[in-house]
Amino acid sequence: MIEFDDVALRYGDGPEILRNLSFTIAPGSFHFLTGPSGAGKTSLLKLLLLSLKPSRGHITMFGRDTGRLSQDQLLDMRRHIGIVFQEFRLLDHLTTFENVALPLRVQGQKEADYAENVAELLTWVGLGDRMHAHPPLLSGGEKQRAAIARAVIAKPDILLADEPTGNVDPDLSTRLLHLFAQLNRTGTTVIIATHERSLLEDFPTPRMVLSDGELIIE
Amino acid sequence: MSSGQSFIDQGDDDPRIRRPRRPTRMRVSRTASIVPHNSIAGRTLMLLIAIMTFLSCITLGGVVLVQKSAIAWSSEVGREVTIQVRPIEGQDMDSNLRASKSIAEAIPGVGAVRIMTEAESGKLLEPWLGAGLDLSLLSIPRLISVELSDPREFNADQLSENLATIKGATLDTHSAWRQQLNAMSGTMVLTGVLVLLLILVATILAVVFATRGTMASNRTIVDVLHFIGASNGFIAGEFQDRFLNIGLRGGAAGGAGAVLFFLVVGTISANYLPSEAGSQLSAFFGRFSLGWDGLLLLILVVPVIGGLTALTSRLTVRRFLTQIS
Ligand SMILES: Nc1ncnc2c1ncn2[C@@H]1O[C@H](COP(=O)(O)OP(=O)(O)OP(=O)(O)O)[C@@H](O)[C@H]1O
Ligand SMILES: [Mg+2]
């Protein structure tokens, strides 16, 4: 599903913050990506989202060399990837409902067809009564749940989540992890970047640890 | 993956997961615009497009008025020719006038022929010479008005050939004057069209700037849309919808303003201006009456401006989207 072949990344003329990345991620697997702050977790997720190009090496996704994709093909591939950003990136002028529905809308679905699914998912993440509120009025945890709902609504083949439980209480963070696990059971490949040790203990899954720019799979 | 059904397993065995409540009733609303409605650039652009449309309509209306008046004058003037008989020493004016009249009457296509009295001829000169002048002291030419019953059958060359037998009689078909009129109205129409084109170019440039500004200030939205896999076509479509909306609303406001302008000016020139001023104006602009076809043309400017705005912004957005990637 995902294959990194000797990938390195640097920003501009800076030092390589990621290097010698060679690994494969099997379809339907569940991974935690950990490492200290500044280790490059977000950067690695951006590579996976195809929003950054590696400065060296090749990334193959869905059987295609991502370096050779046209912009349209790249955007098309993103529809199979769900992403939860560390800073959420919700659109402030849309309601929570509209934000979560955005991926479906972008795929050309009609509101009448997706309204119930979106409402159900929002209710499930505990935002049922905040559906028509705009993001600036949501708490940090509520925004995070909205961002997660947006990432999973289109049932992506790959889910990338950057610190998805950073702003919620332990109880909710366990629930959200179960949501990811459930999604994983239906076939979605899940990669969660986190530095919360406690999360990792609940889930006996392989860990990808970044340190000194290199990746170790434990 | 099918999206028609929920992937949330409702019978989850984990007691920590709350079962979903029944979905709350959806507020049925129009799907919200992805590009914010109340951006300042939008309102400024709408005002600008309204002004541009107004100017386009006024220019176009002016062109239509000039063109219509020119056609009306030209055909009115074309239905009449004048024979001028100059007083010549040793010639009897009255017999020359009568002879000219019968020559004219013999020509096919000629209707009523009337010798204008001395007083009538004098009246025509009044604007230049002032009233109350004893014209009998001046030897002014006398005029015969020849109405044409059928301007196509009428042969002006034949008439002026026949008139050559009478000393001092000449035929005036007003052709020089008509040519001048046509040249003048042609120039005015051309100028109007040029101004119209310049206004359209200025509108396009303004829309390009406004679109680039809007894109830059909505960069976060564009980025998020890209991250969730929106195609450039989709994003361009969303922005285009906004700009079409702005273009149509601005255009409609400007067009309505122009129609109102012509109606008000028409009414004022017809009813309120002192008759002399009114008749002078109406001589130039045909009572400011655009007619239904003229009004229709003005109203057509609105969708043209709206479409142009949408198309321009679409192309600009496309360029912007390929540039940022
Ligand atoms: N756009 C950028 N330009 C230049 N350097 C950057 C950029 N983004 C990140 N970096 C640098 O790359 C390194 C890795 O950053 P990254 O955000 O990937 O870390 P992280 O593991 O996600 O950290 P955290 O746990 O704090 O979120 C850091 O040293 C950071 O300063
Ligand atoms: Mg990070």
First vs last Cα of chain A: how many Å apart?
20
CB neighbourhood size of A44 (10 A): 26
pLDDT above 70: percentage of residues in chain B: 79
Q: Which amino acid is at B253?
A: A
In a mutational test of the B interface, the residue from A52, A92, A123 whose CB has the highest number of chain B CBs within 10 Å is A123
Residue A40 burial by CB count (10 A; 0-12/13-18/19+): exposed, middle or buried? Answer: buried
Q: Which ligand is nearest to the CA of A85?
A: 2
* Rounded Cα gap, residues B230 and A102, in angstroms: 9
Q: Is A149 helix (H, G, I), strand (E, B) or coil?
A: helix
Question: What are the phi and psi torsion angles at B87 (to 5°)?
Answer: -70, 130
User: Is the Cβ pair B34, A102 closer than 8 Å?
Assistant: yes
β-strands A2-10, B142-148 pairing: unpaired
Tens digits of residue pLDDT in B241-250: 888 888 889 9
Each of the 218 residues of chain A gets a pLDDT tens digit; together they read 899 999 999 999 999 999 999 999 999 999 999 988 889 999 999 999 999 999 999 999 999 999 999 988 999 999 999 999 989 999 999 999 999 999 999 999 999 999 999 999 999 888 999 999 999 999 988 999 999 999 999 999 999 999 988 778 888 888 888 888 888 999 999 999 988 777 777 777 788 999 888 888 87
Residue B94 burial by CB count (10 A; 0-12/13-18/19+): exposed, middle or buried? Answer: exposed
* Rounded Cα gap, residues A81 and A66, in angstroms: 14
Q: Is the CB of A212 under 6 A from ligand 1?
A: no
Among B21, B220, B325, the residue with its CB nearest the CB of A128 is B21
Distance of CA B113 to the CA centre of its chain: 39
User: Is the Cβ pair A102, B12 closer than 8 Å?
Assistant: no
Among A102, A123, A174, the residue with its CB nearest the CB of B23 is A123
User: Is the Cβ pair A106, B230 closer than 8 Å?
Assistant: yes
| Closest CA to ligand 1's atom 16 | A40
The residues, ordered by sequence, that sit 6+ positions from A159 with a Cβ below 8 Å of its Cβ are A81, A82, A83, A84, A151, A152, A180, A183, A184, A188, A189, A190, A191
Distance of CA B230 to the CA centre of its chain: 42
Question: What are the phi and psi torsion angles at A63 (to 5°)?
Answer: 75, 10
Among B27, B220, B234, the residue with its CB nearest the CB of A106 is B234
Q: Give the predicted TM-score (pTM) of the model.
A: 0.71
- Using pLDDT thresholds of 50, 70 and 90, give the confidence band for residue B218: confident
Between residues A128 and B37, the one the model is more confident about:
A128
Residues 132-161 of A with CB under 8 A from B: 132, 150, 152, 154-155, 157
pLDDT mean over B53-79? 85
* Rounded Cα gap, residues A184 and A158, in angstroms: 9
* Rounded Cα gap, residues B122 and B142, in angstroms: 9
pLDDT score recorded for residue B274: 60
pLDDT score recorded for residue B1: 40
Instruction: Please state the atom number of ligand 1 nearest to the C-alpha of residue A86.
Output: 27
Q: Looking at domain A28-51+74-217, which CATH architecture does it have? A: 3-Layer(aba) Sandwich (3.40)
Instruction: Determine contact: A72 vs chain B, CB below 8 A.
Output: yes
Residue B136 burial by CB count (10 A; 0-12/13-18/19+): exposed, middle or buried? Answer: exposed
* Rounded Cα gap, residues A37 and A163, in angstroms: 11
Q: How far is the CA of A161 from the centre of ligand 2 (A)?
A: 10
* Rounded Cα gap, residues B206 and A144, in angstroms: 40
* ipTM score of complex: 0.91
Instruction: Please state the atom number of ligand 1 nearest to the C-alpha of residue A41.
Output: 21
Residue of B nearest to A186 (CA): B7
Tens digits of residue pLDDT in A128-147: 999 999 999 999 889 999 99
Q: How far is the CA of A42 from the centre of ligand 1 (A)?
A: 7
Helical ranges in B109-268 per DSSP H = 118-129, 156-163, 175-217, 219-227, 232-267
Residue A26 burial by CB count (10 A; 0-12/13-18/19+): exposed, middle or buried? Answer: exposed
| Closest CA to ligand 1's atom 9 | A43
